[in-house]
């Protein structure tokens, strides 16, 4: 009987000791997971606040320099009335839905080269061009540090958009701001409602006809510049082959393209691009 009681007491001590060790381990794990959660939550809040600050900067810029045009679209290629005996000239009287005060904008930052606008999306931003592609990766148009950065033109492009492929970059934000909304071109039906964008510059405006959207590697020849005529043809053929949508046939003459590039996550160094044909409006 005494032996049985001693054995039972020993088992109880072992059980309590084992429970105590298990409880300590559980408590440690709970603290680790709790701390990890708090750190992650803090980081997310920090990112959210940074995005909000960046958004406020660009909202204020829009308020200061952008006006809506009352008659945004008067129809393509309207015929001007002839007031002389000269042959009638076909003039494209279409204009962008907005106008931008570039004098005021370049007082804020002389690196401004244009403005990109996509109706019905968050894309309504100034375009800057730095001395390299890092300068505005984490800085706003006001040159303030912010992880949302700016929409910026590749430093190797001509600032007047005369390069054959003009490439502009923007972050893929989860809020869909900056160039986050570009990935919507992967969705069925999105292209049909967003087939046109607008590029405004100090020298004149362009209607941007969206012709392709697809994923490629950051090492693509697109980012090397200086493509030959054959290389340009090969790239456009690749764009049509990989396209996420089917644009209507377009045989209009093309001299320049505007390409919007943002991060994508199908694989390492994936980029999503939207290719547009630039149609000059008023020059």
List the end-to-end C-alpha distance of the chain, in Å, as a whole number.
108
279 close to 213: Cβ distance less than 8 angstroms: no
| Nearest to 62, CA basis, from 116, 111, 113 | 116
Quick one: which H or E segment has residue 49?
Answer: helix 2-65
Predicted TM-score (pTM) of this structure? 0.79
Per-residue confidence (pLDDT) for residue 249, from 0 to 100: 84
Per-residue confidence (pLDDT) for residue 195, from 0 to 100: 97
Digitized pLDDT (tens) for each residue of the chain, 283 residues in all: 555 555 555 555 545 555 566 766 776 766 666 666 555 554 556 555 667 787 899 999 999 999 998 754 444 444 444 444 554 545 567 899 999 999 999 999 999 999 999 999 999 999 999 999 999 999 999 999 999 999 999 999 999 999 999 999 999 999 999 999 999 999 999 999 999 999 999 999 999 999 999 999 998 888 888 778 888 888 889 898 999 999 998 777 788 999 999 999 999 899 999 999 999 997 6
Domains along the chain with CATH numbers = 44-69+95-280 (2.40.260.10)
């Amino acid at each position: 009987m005494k032996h049985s009681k001693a054995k039972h007491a020993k088992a109880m001590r072992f059980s309590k000791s084992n429970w105590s060790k298990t409880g300590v381990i559980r408590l440690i794990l709970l603290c680790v997971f709790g701390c990890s959660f708090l750190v992650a939550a803090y980081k997310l809040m920090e990112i959210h606040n940074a995005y909000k600050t960046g958004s406020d900067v660009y909202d204020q810029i829009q308020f200061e320099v952008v006006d809506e045009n009352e008659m945004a679209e008067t129809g393509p290629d309207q015929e001007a009335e002839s007031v002389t005996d000269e042959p009638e000239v076909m003039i494209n009287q279409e204009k962008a839905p907005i106008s931008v005060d570039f004098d005021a904008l370049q007082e804020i930052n002389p690196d401004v080269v244009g403005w990109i606008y996509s109706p019905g999306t968050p894309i309504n931003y100034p375009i800057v061009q730095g001395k390299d592609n890092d300068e505005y990766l984490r800085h706003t148009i006001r040159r303030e540090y912010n992880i949302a950065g700016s929409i910026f033109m590749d430093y190797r492009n001509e600032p007047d958009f005369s390069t054959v492929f003009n490439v502009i970059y923007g972050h893929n934000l989860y809020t869909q701001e900056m160039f986050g909304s570009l990935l919507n071109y992967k969705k069925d039906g999105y292209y049909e409602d967003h087939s046109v964008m607008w590029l405004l510059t100090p020298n004149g405006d362009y209607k941007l006809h969206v012709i392709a959207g697809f994923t490629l590697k950051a090492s693509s020849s697109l980012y090397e510049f200086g493509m030959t005529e054959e290389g340009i043809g090969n790239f456009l053929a690749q764009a049509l082959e990989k396209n996420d949508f089917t644009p209507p046939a377009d045989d209009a003459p093309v001299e320049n393209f505007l390409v919007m590039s943002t991060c994508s996550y199908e694989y390492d160094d994936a980029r999503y691009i939207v290719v547009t044909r630039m149609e000059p409006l008023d020059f």
